[in-house]
Amino acid sequence: MSETTRPPKALSAGAWVAQGLLYALFAVVIGVFSQWPTYRHLATDQALIKVSFSHTGKPLGECRRLSEAELAKLPPNMRAPISCPRERSPVTVEVDIGGQPALRRTSAPSGLSRDGASAVYQRLVVPAGEQRIAVRLNDDARGTGFAYQREATVTLAPAQVLVIDFDATRGGITLQ
Amino acid sequence: MWQDREPPPPALAAWRHLEHGFDAAFGAALSPLRHLGSLGFLVFWLLAVSGIYVYAVIDTSVAGAYASIVDLGRHQPWAGGVLRSLHRYAADAFVILLAAHLGREWLLRHYRGARRHAWLTGVPTIALVFISAIGGFWLHWDQLAQYSAIATAEWLDALPLLATPLARNFLTEGAVSDRLFSLFVFVHLGAPLLLLFTLWFHIQRLTRAAVWPPRALSLGLLVTLLALALLQPVSSHAPANLATVPQALRLDWALLFIHPLAEATSPAAAWALVAALLALLSVLPFLPQPAPAPVAVVDPANCNGCRRCFVDCPFAAVTMAPHPNGKAGKQIAVVDADLCTACGICVGACPSSTPFRSAADLVTGIDLPAAPIGALRRDLQQQLATLKAPRPIVVFGCAQGAALAPLAGDDIARFSLECTGMLPPSFVEYALRDGAAGVLVSTCRPGGCEYRLGQQWTEQRLRGEREPHLRAEVPQHRLEVAWADAGESGEAGPLQAALRRLRQRVSQLEPSTDPLPKVHHV
């Protein structure tokens, strides 16, 4: 059969050079953008405070003793004498940095019955150096004011991460 | 019926220019821009092979991951260090190829009709590629891994999915456990497995799906990535340290761009952008489209069950079923209207499409209602009868390729088919025996067929390598093939050049020496 039915295949020397250049360009694009430009998501003179907790607030209502009549209406296997509401209090946290309010957040309890933990995760970028930090947390909607408070002066190095958490077993608000 | 189409929109014309530039360097058959999908498959397997080896030798624990990967480069510079770099650069190449493949298919509007399935199954691959790639960075547990893992957790926390923020898993050193690392491994291995499954779906409705690029192209890509891995090995950042914020990261922008984007805008804005993009891609096939051409229709009386249309259909739209005539073992072609693109390649494959049949009305076994093969024979006869030039030329072209209208001259009869693959080769001989001095077949550039295989089948049929084939008795010097895409009909283009060559050859013909007997019209 004639060559008129075959597409031309021979490449010129210039085509081979162009091919090499295109492969090189592909490699350069990958090589460069796989590591350049360098990315800095925090300035060199800044530090980071992470305010985060996952804490279950106090019950929203008081437990109460059921009357004999109320107990009698319940199936025998469910006649617990004390009834406590499932819903938990939202948890409110306030953070002041250098005497200025930096965060105020009220977190609702999780779960369909609102009986789970309240959680907060917030990043606060601050200048490195000495910082006066005040943290207040309230986990009881029936009370007034803040059940937990902590104040501290910390010195933060550039790029340092300070975690403000809540751990009831360690006395409440923790700074680490 | 046999007229050219509207010229392509500017964006597609610009892409064609880019493709033609690459064609000049690689040759159209080996141009990477015409093999983006199969190159993606190649890179996927490269990622799999390099990844399996690296995974087998590294320590996937919080305490040991960093040291084991750093040691990999020291103790196994070739099998470990180079493969690690190759793995990373192959992931970058995958994303680039994916973006180019998506852009090309979008420009060509390959999200409509029968191609809807391939388009829709392609959309999830975008998400899976990035999930897999981002998860891979975490396994190193250096500062880049730390940044990416925390940024991803913070981004996911913007969705109201979990009661406790995921980012709490990275508050302190003690919070990151081997159990969490197992989750990293699960993400980095699970997502590629899902990706492979999705890719399998992606090509399900394609006949002869190209999952391996041509050997020369494969070699070129492998050598390029290997050279890059050798010249610029991927290096580690400092070990992860959750007490500090990673500084001056050498970010892989192709794979991790979503993190700075979420930070520069907001996690919600980044989610909105991603969701909008995926939603747009997903609804594109369902937006109002021009009415599709009527699909191919089988005529039982003329279908002998030869299976050629079944074999040649690029979209698996033809299946075979027992013939309604009841003869034992005899089959008939059945067209699935949802899969048929009305390209006409089946018509070109059908042995009943030969114009030499004596029936007054040529009815073939499988035909396009909008452009029946009988009409092509009738119009060919009429146009050849009206041409007064001493050496008329018949041009069969492709409506998706170079327009035929710019071919000037009163010696030309033009027929622009939906795809050149619709042309039964016997029409070339018929035209020559009906008075044409020469026949020019204009097909798209190799790899540029709108219907995937039309250009390839046309060439093979004309060369006698595929049925139905052009008979060897047909003088080859009276046949010319042009490989010309849309927009290449100009004087300097391949179509006009082919016409000049053919005219020059047929001008030297002596009619008395023509060995072909004249055709008798019915």
Residue A5 domain flag: no
Domain match, A94 and A36 both? no
Q: How far is B214 from chain A (nearest CA, A)?
A: 14
CB nearest to A159's CB, from B172, B220, B245? B245
Domain match, A20 and A50 both? no
CATH of the domain at A126: 2.60.40
Surface of A (47-106) touching B: CB under 8 A:
47-48, 50, 52, 54
3-class secondary structure, A65:
strand
Amino acid at site B152: T
Residue A127 domain flag: yes
Q: How far is B63 from chain A (nearest CA, A)?
A: 21
Q: Per-domain residue ranges for chain B?
A: 34-243+253-281, 297-513
Q: How far is A169 from chain B (nearest CA, A)?
A: 17
The pLDDT assigned to A32 comes to 97
| Cα–Cα nearest to B226, from B100, B325, B62, B87 | B87
Q: CA distances (Å), B370 to each of B300, B343, B398, B418, in order? A: 19, 11, 15, 10
Whole-angstrom Cα distance, residue A96 to residue A167?
20
Residue A93 domain flag: yes
Domain match, A36 and A102 both? no
Confidence band, pLDDT 50/70/90 cuts, at residue A71:
very high
State the SS3 of B317-376.
CEEEEECCCCCCCCEEEEECCCCCCCCCHHHHHCHHHCCCCCCCCCCCCEECCCCCHHHH
Quick check: B347 and B353 in contact, CB under 8 A?
A: yes
The pLDDT assigned to A105 comes to 96
- In this complex, do B24 and A22 lie within 8 Å of one another by their Cβ atoms? no
Domain match, A93 and A30 both? no
Q: CA distances (Å), A40 to each of A37, B139, B246, B264, B325, in order? A: 10, 21, 8, 12, 75
Extract the residue ranges of chain B whose pLDDT is less than 70: 511-515, 522
Domain match, A50 and A30 both? no
Indicate the pTM of the whole model. Answer: 0.92
- In this complex, do B25 and A54 lie within 8 Å of one another by their Cβ atoms? no
Whole-angstrom Cα distance, residue B18 to residue B293?
30
3-class secondary structure, B441:
strand
What digits encode the pLDDT tens for the residues B375-427? Answer: 999 999 999 999 989 999 999 999 999 999 999 889 999 999 999 999 999 99
For residue B252 the two structure tokens come to 């892989």
Domain match, A50 and A15 both? no
- In this complex, do A30 and B251 lie within 8 Å of one another by their Cβ atoms? no
Whole-angstrom Cα distance, residue B123 to residue B132?
15
- In this complex, do A9 and B89 lie within 8 Å of one another by their Cβ atoms? no
3-class secondary structure, B235:
coil
Please tell me if residue A32 touches chain B, with a CB cutoff of 8 Å: no
Residue A24 domain flag: yes
Residue A68 domain flag: no
Residue A70 domain flag: no
Confidence band, pLDDT 50/70/90 cuts, at residue A164:
very high
What digits encode the pLDDT tens for the residues A97-127? Answer: 999 999 999 999 999 999 999 999 999 999 9
The pLDDT assigned to A108 comes to 96
Please tell me if residue A112 touches chain B, with a CB cutoff of 8 Å: no
- In this complex, do A42 and B445 lie within 8 Å of one another by their Cβ atoms? no
Predicted-complex ipTM score: 0.93
Q: State the total domains in chain A.
A: 2
Q: Which residues of B touch A5 (CB under 8 A)?
A: 459, 462-463, 476, 479, 481
Whole-angstrom Cα distance, residue B425 to residue B403?
21
DSSP state, residue A88: B
Residue A155 lies in domain: 46-59+89-175
Amino acid at site B257: F
A17, closest residue in chain B (CA to CA)? B25
Whole-angstrom Cα distance, residue A169 to residue B508?
103
Average pLDDT, chain A: 93
Please tell me if residue B26 touches chain A, with a CB cutoff of 8 Å: yes
The pLDDT assigned to B511 comes to 64
The pLDDT assigned to A1 comes to 44
The pLDDT assigned to B512 comes to 61
Q: CA distances (Å), A164 to each of A52, A58, A176, B175, B443, in order? A: 6, 20, 7, 14, 70
Quick check: B250 and B237 in contact, CB under 8 A?
A: yes
3-class secondary structure, B304:
coil
Domain B34-243+253-281 sits in which CATH superfamily? Answer: Cytochrome Bc1 Complex; Chain C (1.20.810.10)
| A5 has a pLDDT exceeding 80 | no
- In this complex, do B164 and A119 lie within 8 Å of one another by their Cβ atoms? yes
Domain match, A106 and A28 both? no
What region does A34 belong to: left with phi over 0, alpha with psi -120 to 50, or beta? alpha
> How many A/B residue pairs have CB atoms within 8 Å?
147
Domain match, A110 and A35 both? no
- In this complex, do A5 and B242 lie within 8 Å of one another by their Cβ atoms? no
